Amino acid sequence: MRNLWKICLASALVSSSWASLAQAPATVPAAPAAKTAPMPAKPAAEPAAKAAPAPAAAKADMQTFVCKDGSTMSVASSKGACSGRKGIDQQATAKAAAGAKPASTAAPGGGAGKVWANEDSKIYHCHGTRFYGTTKNGKYMSEADAKAAGMHGANNKSCS
């Protein structure tokens, strides 16, 4: 009996006959043509506008978790969110959810064309890298000013 069901399901999937198994919708008799007004044509841009909110609804289900190594993850559930990153930091995640800024956010004032110069290590970090604006003792400056102050780029690489 079990094999019979497997064969039926497999054949239905292969032949794509699920539509034939569904009930046909009841048809509504058409109204007389003289009493109905023609429907105005819909603009082509309208279906695209209706499809746009769908990604926003998908993002609403996302949660942000702070891992114990300081990184953040935006995922749908906590299961496996910070695997390989020492697990989820529950306190930091609660603070981030409450509106407090997590420890790994960049200091304000940076941007394109500026580097984050760590005054303790004499290393500067380029915009968009991991430690940009995050070390304790540092400031934003141009790359030329950082080199003039005797600093070098992270991994001995320049930003430009």
Q: Is 149 helix (H, G, I), strand (E, B) or coil?
A: coil
pLDDT in tens, 61-76: 778 888 888 888 778 8
Residue 107 lies in a domain: no
Residue 126 lies in a domain: yes
pLDDT in tens, 123-143: 999 888 888 888 888 899 999
Q: Which range of residues forms the domain containing residue 93?
A: 60-98
C-alpha to C-alpha distance for 42 and 36, rounded to whole angstroms: 18
Are residues 93 and 119 both part of a single domain? no
Residue 148 lies in a domain: yes
Rg (CA), the chain: 29
Percentage with pLDDT > 70 across the chain: 60
Residue 77 lies in a domain: yes
Work out the mean pLDDT of the chain and round it to a whole number: 73
Looking at the structure of the chain, the number of domains it has is: 2
Residue 73 lies in a domain: yes
- Residue predicted with more confidence, 141 or 18: 141
- Hey, what amino acid is at 129? T
pLDDT score of 15 more than 50 = yes
pLDDT in tens, 80-101: 888 887 888 888 888 877 764 4
Residue 11 lies in a domain: no
Query: What are the φ and ψ backbone dihedral angles of 46, each rounded to 5 degrees?
Result: -65, -45
CA angle 90–94–99, rounded 5-degree value? 150
Query: What are the φ and ψ backbone dihedral angles of 139, each rounded to 5 degrees?
Result: -155, 160
Q: What is the reported pLDDT for 49? A: 44
Report the phi/psi class of residue 10: left, alpha or beta, with left for phi > 0 and alpha for psi in -120 to 50. alpha
pLDDT score of 19 more than 70 = no
| Residue 131 burial (C-beta neighbours within 10 Å; 0-12, 13-18, 19+) | middle
Q: Which long-range contacts (CB under 8 A, 24 or more apart) does 40-43 make?
A: none
CA atoms within 13 A on the CB side of 68: 7
Contact 117, 151 (CB under 8 A): yes
Residue 123 lies in a domain: yes
Residue 132 lies in a domain: yes
Q: Which of 100, 64, 66 is nearest to 86 (CA)?
A: 66
Q: Which of 94, 160, 103 is nearest to 127 (CA)?
A: 160
Are residues 94 and 121 both part of a single domain? no
